[in-house]
Structure 1
Amino acid sequence: MKSSLNSILGEYRSLAVLFSGGRDSEVLLRAAVSSSDPGSVLSITADSPLLADFYRRRIRQVCGELGLVPAMLPVWRKMEPLLRKNGTERCYVCRKTVYGVLFPEALARGAGTVADGTTVDDLEERRPGLRAAEEEHIMHPFVLAGMGRSDVIELGRSMGMRDDGPPPDSCLATRIPEGMELTRELLRLVESVEAPLRPIVRGRFRVRVMPGILRVEYQTVDGEKVLSCLREMETTAGRAGMGIETVLTDGQSSSRYR
Protein backbone atom coordinates (compact mmCIF):
# COMPACT_ATOMS: atom_id res chain seq x y z
CA MET A 1 0.00 0.00 0.00
CA LYS A 2 2.90 2.35 0.70
CA SER A 3 4.20 1.88 -2.84
CA SER A 4 0.71 2.51 -4.18
CA LEU A 5 0.45 5.71 -2.15
CA ASN A 6 3.87 6.86 -3.35
CA SER A 7 2.78 6.28 -6.94
CA ILE A 8 -0.37 8.32 -6.38
CA LEU A 9 1.52 11.16 -4.72
CA GLY A 10 4.12 11.06 -7.47
CA GLU A 11 1.43 11.82 -10.04
CA TYR A 12 0.72 15.20 -8.46
CA ARG A 13 2.79 18.00 -9.94
CA SER A 14 2.48 19.98 -6.73
CA LEU A 15 0.37 19.19 -3.69
CA ALA A 16 -1.32 21.17 -0.93
CA VAL A 17 -2.11 19.02 2.11
CA LEU A 18 -4.96 20.18 4.33
CA PHE A 19 -3.11 19.72 7.62
CA SER A 20 -5.28 19.78 10.75
CA GLY A 21 -2.51 18.77 13.14
CA GLY A 22 -4.08 15.32 13.54
CA ARG A 23 -2.40 12.00 12.83
CA ASP A 24 -3.89 11.15 9.43
CA SER A 25 -3.14 14.47 7.77
CA GLU A 26 0.33 14.50 9.37
CA VAL A 27 1.10 11.09 7.89
CA LEU A 28 -0.06 12.32 4.48
CA LEU A 29 2.06 15.45 4.75
CA ARG A 30 5.16 13.47 5.74
CA ALA A 31 4.55 10.95 2.96
CA ALA A 32 4.15 13.74 0.41
CA VAL A 33 7.40 15.40 1.47
CA SER A 34 9.31 12.10 1.41
CA SER A 35 8.06 11.13 -2.05
CA SER A 36 8.30 14.54 -3.72
CA ASP A 37 10.45 17.60 -4.00
CA PRO A 38 9.78 19.41 -0.68
CA GLY A 39 9.38 22.63 -2.63
CA SER A 40 6.33 21.17 -4.35
CA VAL A 41 4.44 20.44 -1.10
CA LEU A 42 2.35 23.01 0.76
CA SER A 43 0.86 22.65 4.24
CA ILE A 44 -2.36 24.63 4.49
CA THR A 45 -4.70 24.96 7.47
CA ALA A 46 -8.03 26.63 8.21
CA ASP A 47 -7.37 28.71 11.31
CA SER A 48 -10.40 29.41 13.50
CA PRO A 49 -11.69 28.86 17.06
CA LEU A 50 -12.67 25.35 15.92
CA LEU A 51 -8.97 24.44 15.98
CA ALA A 52 -7.50 23.88 19.44
CA ASP A 53 -4.28 25.78 20.11
CA PHE A 54 -2.64 22.42 20.86
CA TYR A 55 -2.95 21.62 17.14
CA ARG A 56 -1.69 25.02 16.04
CA ARG A 57 1.51 24.32 17.94
CA ARG A 58 1.63 20.80 16.52
CA ILE A 59 1.25 22.11 12.97
CA ARG A 60 4.13 24.55 13.42
CA GLN A 61 6.30 21.87 15.02
CA VAL A 62 5.75 19.28 12.29
CA CYS A 63 6.17 21.80 9.47
CA GLY A 64 9.38 23.01 11.09
CA GLU A 65 10.70 19.44 11.14
CA LEU A 66 9.85 19.05 7.46
CA GLY A 67 11.27 22.39 6.38
CA LEU A 68 7.86 23.80 5.48
CA VAL A 69 6.24 27.11 6.31
CA PRO A 70 2.62 26.40 7.31
CA ALA A 71 -0.06 28.49 5.63
CA MET A 72 -2.53 29.31 8.42
CA LEU A 73 -5.53 30.97 6.81
CA PRO A 74 -8.16 32.74 8.95
CA VAL A 75 -11.66 31.55 8.07
CA TRP A 76 -13.79 32.32 11.15
CA ARG A 77 -15.17 35.66 9.98
CA LYS A 78 -16.62 34.00 6.91
CA MET A 79 -17.92 30.84 8.59
CA GLU A 80 -19.24 32.22 11.91
CA PRO A 81 -22.58 33.58 10.61
CA LEU A 82 -23.17 30.31 8.77
CA LEU A 83 -22.31 28.06 11.73
CA ARG A 84 -23.84 29.99 14.62
CA LYS A 85 -27.21 28.21 14.36
CA ASN A 86 -25.35 24.90 14.57
CA GLY A 87 -27.82 22.89 12.54
CA THR A 88 -27.69 19.27 11.42
CA GLU A 89 -25.64 20.21 8.34
CA ARG A 90 -22.97 22.11 10.28
CA CYS A 91 -20.16 19.80 9.15
CA TYR A 92 -21.10 20.24 5.51
CA VAL A 93 -21.48 24.01 5.90
CA CYS A 94 -18.14 24.24 7.71
CA ARG A 95 -16.22 22.16 5.18
CA LYS A 96 -17.86 23.88 2.23
CA THR A 97 -16.82 27.26 3.62
CA VAL A 98 -13.30 26.12 4.49
CA TYR A 99 -12.66 24.52 1.12
CA GLY A 100 -14.03 27.61 -0.59
CA VAL A 101 -11.25 29.61 1.09
CA LEU A 102 -8.38 27.09 1.10
CA PHE A 103 -8.74 25.60 -2.39
CA PRO A 104 -8.32 28.83 -4.40
CA GLU A 105 -5.58 30.01 -2.03
CA ALA A 106 -3.69 26.74 -2.50
CA LEU A 107 -3.94 27.11 -6.27
CA ALA A 108 -2.77 30.72 -6.02
CA ARG A 109 0.30 29.50 -4.13
CA GLY A 110 1.20 27.08 -6.90
CA ALA A 111 -0.50 23.84 -5.85
CA GLY A 112 -1.97 21.75 -8.63
CA THR A 113 -3.86 19.41 -6.27
CA VAL A 114 -5.41 19.81 -2.81
CA ALA A 115 -5.71 16.69 -0.63
CA ASP A 116 -6.69 15.63 2.87
CA GLY A 117 -6.11 12.64 5.16
CA THR A 118 -9.45 10.89 4.65
CA THR A 119 -9.16 7.08 4.89
CA VAL A 120 -11.40 4.29 3.62
CA ASP A 121 -12.72 3.86 7.18
CA ASP A 122 -13.98 7.44 7.15
CA LEU A 123 -16.20 6.59 4.19
CA GLU A 124 -18.16 4.19 6.41
CA GLU A 125 -19.09 6.92 8.90
CA ARG A 126 -21.56 9.80 8.75
CA ARG A 127 -19.35 12.61 7.51
CA PRO A 128 -21.31 15.30 5.66
CA GLY A 129 -18.05 17.14 5.07
CA LEU A 130 -17.04 14.49 2.54
CA ARG A 131 -19.82 15.71 0.27
CA ALA A 132 -18.32 19.19 0.40
CA ALA A 133 -14.88 17.73 -0.35
CA GLU A 134 -16.23 16.03 -3.45
CA GLU A 135 -17.95 19.21 -4.61
CA GLU A 136 -14.76 21.24 -4.10
CA HIS A 137 -12.46 18.67 -5.78
CA ILE A 138 -10.47 17.72 -2.67
CA MET A 139 -8.48 14.54 -3.29
CA HIS A 140 -8.18 11.61 -0.84
CA PRO A 141 -4.85 9.83 -1.55
CA PHE A 142 -5.32 7.29 1.26
CA VAL A 143 -8.69 6.28 -0.18
CA LEU A 144 -7.21 5.96 -3.67
CA ALA A 145 -4.51 3.70 -2.18
CA GLY A 146 -7.12 1.62 -0.31
CA MET A 147 -5.71 2.58 3.09
CA GLY A 148 -7.65 2.45 6.35
CA ARG A 149 -6.73 3.88 9.75
CA SER A 150 -4.57 0.91 10.72
CA ASP A 151 -2.64 1.26 7.46
CA VAL A 152 -2.08 4.96 8.12
CA ILE A 153 -0.83 4.21 11.64
CA GLU A 154 1.59 1.62 10.28
CA LEU A 155 2.83 4.03 7.63
CA GLY A 156 3.39 6.63 10.31
CA ARG A 157 5.47 4.17 12.31
CA SER A 158 7.59 3.41 9.26
CA MET A 159 8.36 7.13 9.02
CA GLY A 160 9.37 7.35 12.68
CA MET A 161 6.13 8.71 14.14
CA ARG A 162 5.52 7.66 17.72
CA ASP A 163 2.47 5.67 18.80
CA ASP A 164 1.94 7.97 21.79
CA GLY A 165 1.12 10.98 19.65
CA PRO A 166 -2.21 12.82 19.77
CA PRO A 167 -5.25 10.50 19.82
CA PRO A 168 -7.82 10.66 17.01
CA ASP A 169 -9.70 13.91 17.28
CA SER A 170 -12.21 16.18 15.58
CA CYS A 171 -12.86 19.91 15.61
CA LEU A 172 -14.18 21.59 18.75
CA ALA A 173 -17.64 22.10 17.23
CA THR A 174 -18.32 18.38 17.72
CA ARG A 175 -18.39 18.97 21.50
CA ILE A 176 -21.46 21.18 21.20
CA PRO A 177 -24.83 19.52 20.50
CA GLU A 178 -26.64 20.40 17.32
CA GLY A 179 -29.13 23.20 17.86
CA MET A 180 -27.14 24.90 20.64
CA GLU A 181 -25.76 28.24 19.49
CA LEU A 182 -22.13 27.84 18.48
CA THR A 183 -20.11 30.82 19.67
CA ARG A 184 -16.43 31.69 19.99
CA GLU A 185 -16.87 31.95 23.77
CA LEU A 186 -18.32 28.44 24.09
CA LEU A 187 -15.57 26.99 21.92
CA ARG A 188 -12.93 28.71 24.06
CA LEU A 189 -14.51 27.27 27.20
CA VAL A 190 -14.37 23.74 25.81
CA GLU A 191 -10.78 24.20 24.71
CA SER A 192 -9.69 25.58 28.07
CA VAL A 193 -11.19 22.58 29.90
CA GLU A 194 -9.56 20.12 27.49
CA ALA A 195 -6.20 21.92 27.55
CA PRO A 196 -4.69 20.30 30.69
CA LEU A 197 -5.61 16.83 29.39
CA ARG A 198 -4.04 17.09 25.94
CA PRO A 199 -0.37 16.75 26.97
CA ILE A 200 -0.98 13.70 29.19
CA VAL A 201 -3.97 11.72 27.90
CA ARG A 202 -3.23 9.21 25.15
CA GLY A 203 -6.66 7.66 24.70
CA ARG A 204 -9.58 9.35 23.00
CA PHE A 205 -11.40 11.92 25.12
CA ARG A 206 -14.00 14.65 24.71
CA VAL A 207 -15.41 17.50 26.76
CA ARG A 208 -19.05 17.70 25.69
CA VAL A 209 -21.33 20.61 26.48
CA MET A 210 -24.53 19.59 28.29
CA PRO A 211 -27.14 21.80 30.03
CA GLY A 212 -25.23 23.25 32.99
CA ILE A 213 -22.52 20.60 32.74
CA LEU A 214 -19.30 19.99 30.85
CA ARG A 215 -19.08 16.23 30.42
CA VAL A 216 -15.56 14.77 30.25
CA GLU A 217 -15.62 11.44 28.41
CA TYR A 218 -12.45 9.37 28.62
CA GLN A 219 -11.08 5.85 28.38
CA THR A 220 -10.38 3.67 31.40
CA VAL A 221 -6.63 3.65 30.85
CA ASP A 222 -6.50 7.43 31.39
CA GLY A 223 -8.63 7.55 34.54
CA GLU A 224 -5.92 8.65 36.96
CA LYS A 225 -4.62 11.30 34.56
CA VAL A 226 -8.09 12.75 34.04
CA LEU A 227 -8.83 12.88 37.75
CA SER A 228 -5.45 14.53 38.42
CA CYS A 229 -6.64 17.49 36.32
CA LEU A 230 -10.12 17.56 37.82
CA ARG A 231 -9.61 20.55 40.11
CA GLU A 232 -8.22 22.68 37.28
CA MET A 233 -11.09 21.68 34.99
CA GLU A 234 -13.63 22.29 37.73
CA THR A 235 -12.26 25.79 38.34
CA THR A 236 -12.40 26.64 34.65
CA ALA A 237 -15.96 25.36 34.28
CA GLY A 238 -17.02 27.12 37.48
CA ARG A 239 -16.06 30.50 36.06
CA ALA A 240 -18.71 29.90 33.39
CA GLY A 241 -21.26 28.79 35.99
CA MET A 242 -21.06 25.15 34.93
CA GLY A 243 -20.16 21.91 36.64
CA ILE A 244 -17.98 19.00 35.56
CA GLU A 245 -19.10 15.42 34.98
CA THR A 246 -16.55 12.68 34.30
CA VAL A 247 -17.72 9.58 32.43
CA LEU A 248 -15.87 6.49 31.25
CA THR A 249 -16.57 5.83 27.59
CA ASP A 250 -17.57 2.26 28.48
CA GLY A 251 -20.29 3.77 30.69
CA GLN A 252 -19.17 1.99 33.85
CA SER A 253 -18.99 5.02 36.11
CA SER A 254 -19.90 8.66 36.39
CA SER A 255 -18.99 11.42 38.83
CA ARG A 256 -20.42 14.93 39.07
CA TYR A 257 -18.70 17.99 40.49
CA ARG A 258 -20.28 21.41 41.00
Structure 2
Amino acid sequence: MVFDGFFTQEKTMRTLEEKYINLQNIIRNYDRLAIAFSGGVDSTFLLKVARDVLLDNVVAITARSVSFPEREHKESEDFCKVSGIKQIVVDVDQMSIEGFKNNPPDRCYLCKKVIFETIIESAKQLGIDVVAEGSNADDVCDYRPGMRAIAELKVKSPLKEADLSKDEIRTLSKELGLPTWSKPSFACLATRFVYGQEITEEKIKMAGKAEELLFDLGFTQARCRVHENMARIEIMQDEFEKILQNDIRTRIAKEIKALGFSYVALDLQGYRTGSMNETLNITG
Protein backbone atom coordinates (compact mmCIF):
# COMPACT_ATOMS: atom_id res chain seq x y z
CA MET A 1 0.00 0.00 0.00
CA VAL A 2 1.38 3.39 -1.00
CA PHE A 3 0.10 6.30 1.05
CA ASP A 4 0.85 9.02 -1.54
CA GLY A 5 2.53 11.46 0.81
CA PHE A 6 0.04 10.90 3.63
CA PHE A 7 2.90 10.37 6.09
CA THR A 8 5.32 13.00 4.81
CA GLN A 9 4.10 16.11 6.63
CA GLU A 10 4.81 15.47 10.30
CA LYS A 11 7.09 13.33 12.43
CA THR A 12 4.08 11.73 14.10
CA MET A 13 2.81 10.62 10.71
CA ARG A 14 6.19 9.13 9.83
CA THR A 15 6.08 7.21 13.10
CA LEU A 16 2.65 5.90 12.16
CA GLU A 17 3.96 4.76 8.80
CA GLU A 18 6.71 2.85 10.61
CA LYS A 19 4.12 1.16 12.80
CA TYR A 20 2.08 0.21 9.74
CA ILE A 21 5.12 -1.30 8.03
CA ASN A 22 6.02 -3.12 11.25
CA LEU A 23 2.50 -4.58 11.38
CA GLN A 24 2.87 -5.86 7.82
CA ASN A 25 6.19 -7.48 8.73
CA ILE A 26 4.69 -9.12 11.83
CA ILE A 27 1.91 -10.64 9.74
CA ARG A 28 4.34 -11.65 7.00
CA ASN A 29 6.00 -14.02 9.50
CA TYR A 30 2.98 -16.33 9.27
CA ASP A 31 2.40 -18.58 6.28
CA ARG A 32 -1.31 -18.90 7.05
CA LEU A 33 -3.37 -16.98 9.55
CA ALA A 34 -6.87 -17.10 11.04
CA ILE A 35 -8.29 -13.80 12.28
CA ALA A 36 -10.90 -13.73 15.05
CA PHE A 37 -13.19 -11.35 13.20
CA SER A 38 -16.05 -9.42 14.81
CA GLY A 39 -16.49 -6.76 12.14
CA GLY A 40 -15.39 -3.97 14.50
CA VAL A 41 -12.82 -1.25 13.86
CA ASP A 42 -9.78 -3.20 15.04
CA SER A 43 -10.47 -6.66 13.64
CA THR A 44 -11.55 -5.23 10.28
CA PHE A 45 -8.31 -3.28 9.97
CA LEU A 46 -6.28 -6.33 11.02
CA LEU A 47 -8.11 -8.55 8.55
CA LYS A 48 -7.59 -6.04 5.73
CA VAL A 49 -3.83 -5.80 6.34
CA ALA A 50 -3.53 -9.58 6.68
CA ARG A 51 -5.41 -10.03 3.41
CA ASP A 52 -3.09 -7.55 1.66
CA VAL A 53 0.00 -9.34 2.97
CA LEU A 54 -1.05 -13.01 2.90
CA LEU A 55 -3.62 -12.93 0.09
CA ASP A 56 -5.68 -16.14 0.18
CA ASN A 57 -3.70 -17.52 3.12
CA VAL A 58 -5.88 -15.66 5.60
CA VAL A 59 -9.33 -16.65 6.81
CA ALA A 60 -11.82 -14.82 9.04
CA ILE A 61 -13.46 -16.78 11.85
CA THR A 62 -16.48 -15.12 13.43
CA ALA A 63 -18.03 -16.32 16.69
CA ARG A 64 -21.81 -15.87 16.67
CA SER A 65 -23.42 -15.55 20.09
CA VAL A 66 -26.33 -13.89 21.89
CA SER A 67 -24.14 -11.02 23.12
CA PHE A 68 -23.27 -9.81 19.61
CA PRO A 69 -26.20 -8.24 17.73
CA GLU A 70 -27.24 -9.58 14.37
CA ARG A 71 -26.42 -6.20 12.83
CA GLU A 72 -22.75 -6.72 13.75
CA HIS A 73 -22.72 -10.22 12.24
CA LYS A 74 -24.33 -8.96 9.04
CA GLU A 75 -21.69 -6.24 8.68
CA SER A 76 -18.90 -8.79 9.17
CA GLU A 77 -20.38 -11.04 6.49
CA ASP A 78 -20.82 -8.14 4.07
CA PHE A 79 -17.20 -7.04 4.51
CA CYS A 80 -15.85 -10.53 3.83
CA LYS A 81 -18.02 -10.96 0.76
CA VAL A 82 -17.01 -7.61 -0.73
CA SER A 83 -13.34 -8.25 0.07
CA GLY A 84 -13.34 -11.83 -1.21
CA ILE A 85 -12.20 -13.19 2.14
CA LYS A 86 -13.21 -16.65 3.29
CA GLN A 87 -15.27 -16.44 6.48
CA ILE A 88 -16.14 -19.25 8.87
CA VAL A 89 -18.94 -18.65 11.38
CA VAL A 90 -18.92 -20.68 14.59
CA ASP A 91 -21.80 -20.67 17.09
CA VAL A 92 -21.00 -20.26 20.78
CA ASP A 93 -23.65 -20.79 23.47
CA GLN A 94 -22.49 -18.24 26.02
CA MET A 95 -25.34 -18.98 28.40
CA SER A 96 -24.00 -22.52 28.86
CA ILE A 97 -20.47 -21.38 29.78
CA GLU A 98 -19.87 -22.21 33.43
CA GLY A 99 -20.03 -19.04 35.53
CA PHE A 100 -21.04 -16.74 32.67
CA LYS A 101 -24.59 -16.06 33.85
CA ASN A 102 -23.37 -15.23 37.35
CA ASN A 103 -21.33 -12.36 35.87
CA PRO A 104 -18.25 -12.42 38.14
CA PRO A 105 -15.49 -9.84 37.61
CA ASP A 106 -13.59 -12.40 35.52
CA ARG A 107 -16.61 -13.22 33.34
CA CYS A 108 -14.76 -12.02 30.24
CA TYR A 109 -11.96 -14.50 30.92
CA LEU A 110 -14.40 -17.41 31.24
CA CYS A 111 -16.18 -16.42 28.04
CA LYS A 112 -13.15 -15.53 25.94
CA LYS A 113 -11.46 -18.80 26.79
CA VAL A 114 -14.36 -20.84 25.42
CA ILE A 115 -14.79 -18.59 22.37
CA PHE A 116 -11.11 -18.72 21.42
CA GLU A 117 -10.88 -22.44 22.06
CA THR A 118 -13.73 -22.81 19.56
CA ILE A 119 -12.02 -20.50 17.05
CA ILE A 120 -8.68 -22.30 17.45
CA GLU A 121 -10.34 -25.67 16.84
CA SER A 122 -12.06 -24.30 13.74
CA ALA A 123 -8.73 -22.97 12.45
CA LYS A 124 -7.03 -26.31 13.04
CA GLN A 125 -9.69 -28.04 10.96
CA LEU A 126 -8.56 -25.76 8.12
CA GLY A 127 -4.93 -26.65 8.72
CA ILE A 128 -4.14 -23.25 10.27
CA ASP A 129 -2.06 -23.21 13.45
CA VAL A 130 -1.97 -19.47 14.19
CA VAL A 131 -4.94 -17.37 15.34
CA ALA A 132 -4.76 -13.60 15.76
CA GLU A 133 -7.14 -11.10 17.33
CA GLY A 134 -7.59 -7.34 17.30
CA SER A 135 -6.55 -6.02 20.72
CA ASN A 136 -4.66 -2.74 20.38
CA ALA A 137 -2.14 -0.79 22.45
CA ASP A 138 -4.88 1.06 24.35
CA ASP A 139 -6.34 -2.17 25.72
CA VAL A 140 -3.56 -2.53 28.29
CA CYS A 141 -4.92 0.57 30.07
CA ASP A 142 -8.24 -0.96 31.15
CA TYR A 143 -9.33 -3.96 33.19
CA ARG A 144 -9.59 -6.70 30.57
CA PRO A 145 -9.54 -10.21 32.09
CA GLY A 146 -10.18 -11.65 28.62
CA MET A 147 -6.58 -10.83 27.76
CA ARG A 148 -5.51 -13.58 30.16
CA ALA A 149 -7.36 -16.16 28.09
CA ILE A 150 -5.74 -14.81 24.92
CA ALA A 151 -2.29 -15.15 26.51
CA GLU A 152 -2.97 -18.64 27.86
CA LEU A 153 -4.14 -19.88 24.47
CA LYS A 154 -1.18 -18.21 22.70
CA VAL A 155 -3.42 -16.18 20.41
CA LYS A 156 -1.48 -13.44 18.61
CA SER A 157 -2.26 -9.72 18.97
CA PRO A 158 -0.44 -8.06 16.04
CA LEU A 159 -1.96 -4.59 16.54
CA LYS A 160 -0.79 -4.48 20.13
CA GLU A 161 2.60 -5.89 19.11
CA ALA A 162 2.93 -3.07 16.57
CA ASP A 163 1.97 -0.56 19.32
CA LEU A 164 -1.00 0.79 17.35
CA SER A 165 -3.57 2.77 19.32
CA LYS A 166 -7.29 2.98 18.55
CA ASP A 167 -6.96 6.47 17.06
CA GLU A 168 -4.05 5.35 14.89
CA ILE A 169 -6.04 2.36 13.67
CA ARG A 170 -8.91 4.67 12.72
CA THR A 171 -6.50 6.97 10.87
CA LEU A 172 -4.99 4.08 8.91
CA SER A 173 -8.43 2.56 8.29
CA LYS A 174 -9.59 5.82 6.74
CA GLU A 175 -6.55 5.96 4.49
CA LEU A 176 -7.18 2.36 3.42
CA GLY A 177 -10.78 3.21 2.57
CA LEU A 178 -12.31 0.93 5.20
CA PRO A 179 -15.95 1.71 6.04
CA THR A 180 -15.25 1.01 9.73
CA TRP A 181 -12.82 3.91 10.23
CA SER A 182 -15.56 5.99 11.88
CA LYS A 183 -17.65 3.10 13.21
CA PRO A 184 -18.63 3.45 16.89
CA SER A 185 -16.69 1.25 19.27
CA PHE A 186 -18.56 -1.88 20.25
CA ALA A 187 -18.07 -4.39 23.03
CA CYS A 188 -19.86 -7.61 23.91
CA LEU A 189 -23.32 -6.86 25.33
CA ALA A 190 -22.45 -8.83 28.47
CA THR A 191 -20.31 -5.83 29.47
CA ARG A 192 -23.52 -3.87 30.05
CA PHE A 193 -24.32 -5.70 33.29
CA VAL A 194 -23.27 -4.83 36.84
CA TYR A 195 -20.83 -7.45 38.13
CA GLY A 196 -22.70 -10.01 40.21
CA GLN A 197 -26.04 -9.29 38.52
CA GLU A 198 -27.39 -12.32 36.68
CA ILE A 199 -27.08 -12.16 32.92
CA THR A 200 -30.11 -13.40 31.04
CA GLU A 201 -30.65 -13.79 27.32
CA GLU A 202 -33.75 -11.62 27.58
CA LYS A 203 -31.91 -8.70 29.17
CA ILE A 204 -29.01 -8.99 26.73
CA LYS A 205 -31.51 -8.56 23.91
CA MET A 206 -33.17 -5.66 25.74
CA ALA A 207 -29.85 -3.82 26.03
CA GLY A 208 -29.03 -4.51 22.39
CA LYS A 209 -32.38 -3.20 21.16
CA ALA A 210 -32.06 -0.09 23.35
CA GLU A 211 -28.67 0.70 21.81
CA GLU A 212 -29.98 0.04 18.33
CA LEU A 213 -32.68 2.65 18.98
CA LEU A 214 -30.06 5.19 20.07
CA PHE A 215 -27.93 4.58 16.99
CA ASP A 216 -31.00 4.78 14.74
CA LEU A 217 -31.72 8.19 16.28
CA GLY A 218 -28.28 9.34 15.17
CA PHE A 219 -26.23 9.16 18.38
CA THR A 220 -22.61 8.50 17.46
CA GLN A 221 -21.70 6.39 20.48
CA ALA A 222 -24.08 4.81 22.99
CA ARG A 223 -24.32 2.24 25.74
CA CYS A 224 -27.29 0.86 27.65
CA ARG A 225 -25.97 -0.28 31.04
CA VAL A 226 -28.30 -2.68 32.85
CA HIS A 227 -28.95 -2.12 36.57
CA GLU A 228 -31.65 -4.69 37.35
CA ASN A 229 -34.81 -3.01 35.96
CA MET A 230 -33.11 0.33 35.12
CA ALA A 231 -31.43 1.26 31.85
CA ARG A 232 -28.55 3.72 32.36
CA ILE A 233 -27.86 5.45 29.06
CA GLU A 234 -24.39 6.66 28.14
CA ILE A 235 -23.91 8.95 25.15
CA MET A 236 -21.23 11.46 24.18
CA GLN A 237 -21.40 14.63 26.29
CA ASP A 238 -21.65 16.85 23.23
CA GLU A 239 -24.91 15.07 22.36
CA PHE A 240 -26.65 15.79 25.67
CA GLU A 241 -28.54 18.71 24.14
CA LYS A 242 -29.94 16.41 21.47
CA ILE A 243 -31.17 13.73 23.86
CA LEU A 244 -32.91 16.36 25.97
CA GLN A 245 -35.03 17.56 23.07
CA ASN A 246 -38.56 16.78 24.17
CA ASP A 247 -39.56 14.55 21.25
CA ILE A 248 -36.34 12.52 21.36
CA ARG A 249 -36.31 12.25 25.16
CA THR A 250 -39.90 11.06 25.35
CA ARG A 251 -39.44 8.60 22.49
CA ILE A 252 -36.36 7.06 24.10
CA ALA A 253 -38.08 6.72 27.45
CA LYS A 254 -41.22 5.23 25.93
CA GLU A 255 -39.50 2.74 23.63
CA ILE A 256 -36.88 1.56 26.12
CA LYS A 257 -39.57 1.03 28.76
CA ALA A 258 -41.52 -0.95 26.18
CA LEU A 259 -38.54 -3.32 25.98
CA GLY A 260 -39.08 -4.25 29.63
CA PHE A 261 -37.16 -1.68 31.67
CA SER A 262 -38.99 0.15 34.47
CA TYR A 263 -36.69 3.18 34.53
CA VAL A 264 -34.51 5.00 31.99
CA ALA A 265 -31.68 7.24 33.24
CA LEU A 266 -29.05 9.38 31.54
CA ASP A 267 -25.50 9.10 32.91
CA LEU A 268 -24.28 12.67 33.37
CA GLN A 269 -20.65 11.63 32.92
CA GLY A 270 -21.45 10.51 29.40
CA TYR A 271 -20.06 7.62 27.38
CA ARG A 272 -16.80 6.04 28.51
CA THR A 273 -15.31 2.61 28.05
CA GLY A 274 -15.28 0.21 30.98
CA SER A 275 -17.65 2.19 33.18
CA MET A 276 -18.78 -1.05 34.83
CA ASN A 277 -15.21 -1.49 36.07
CA GLU A 278 -15.30 1.73 38.10
CA THR A 279 -16.63 -0.05 41.18
CA LEU A 280 -13.88 -2.68 41.14
CA ASN A 281 -10.90 -2.34 43.48
CA ILE A 282 -8.16 -2.99 40.95
CA THR A 283 -4.51 -2.34 41.75
CA GLY A 284 -1.32 -2.93 39.84
Kept after mapping to 2: 8 A contact 1:50/1:173:
yes
Within the candidate set 6, 9, 12, 2:30 is matched to 12
1:168 corresponding residue in structure 2: 185
Q: Work out which of the residue numbers 106, 110, 132 in structure 1 matches 2:149.
A: 132
Residue 161 to residue 248, structure 1, CA distance change in 2 (3 Å): farther
Distance (whole Å) between structure 1 residues aligned to residue 118 and residue 96 of structure 2: 10
The match for 1:117 among 113, 134, 142 is: 134
Instruction: Give the alignment's TM-score, normalised by structure 2.
Output: 0.80
Structure 1 residue aligned with 2:66: 49
Are positions 1:83 and 2:133 aligned together? no
CA–CA distance in 2 between the matches of 1:137 and 1:49? 26
SS of corresponding position for 2:104:
coil
Letter in 1 for 2:57: S
Q: For residue 32 of structure 1, what is the aligned residue in structure 2? A: 50
Structure 2: which 5+ runs fail to align? Answer: 1-18, 272-284
Aligned-residue offset at 1:70: 2.4
Partner of residue 265, structure 2 = 245
Q: 1:78 to 1:241 in 2, by over 3 A?
A: closer
Question: Aligned partners of 2:201 and 2:150: how far apart in 1?
Answer: 25
Q: Distance in 2 between matches of 1:151 and 1:241?
A: 38
> Secondary structure of 1:195's match?
helix
Task: Find the residue that maps to 1:50 and give its secondary structure.
Answer: coil
- Secondary structure (helix, strand or coil) at the match of 1:112 reads coil
Residue 78 (structure 1) shift: 7.0
AA aligned opposite 2:264? I
Q: Any idea what SS the aligned residue of 2:155 has? A: coil
How far the C-alpha of 1:142 sits from its partner, in A, is 1.1
Structure 1 runs (4+) greater than 6 angstroms displaced: none
- State the distance in 1 between where 2:228 and 2:125 align: 44
Q: Provide the secondary structure at the position in 2 that maps to 1:127.
A: coil
Aligned partners of 2:231 and 2:261 also within 8 Å:
no
Letter in 1 for 2:203: L
Number of paired residues? 250
Aligned-partner residue type, residue 246 of structure 1: L
| Deviation sequence 1:139-176 (CA, Å, 0-9, x none) | 01112212222221222122112576321121100101
Aligned counterparts of 1:86 and 1:141: Cα–Cα separation in 2: 29
1:51/1:172 contact within 8 Å kept = yes
Give the conservation status (yes or no) of the 8 Å contact 2:109–2:149: yes
Read off the aligned partner of 1:2 and give its amino acid letter.
Y
Aligned partners of 1:166 and 1:202 also within 8 Å? no
* Cα 1:146/1:108, change in 2 over 3 Å: same
Aligned to 2:3: none
Q: Is the 8 A contact 2:97 2:111 kept in 1?
A: no
Shift of 1:16: 0.8
Residue aligned with 1:244, SS: strand
Structure 1 position 218, deviation (Å): 0.5
For the pair 1:234 / 2:251, whether they are aligned, the reply is no
Contact 1:89–1:128 (CA under 8 A) maintained in structure 2: yes
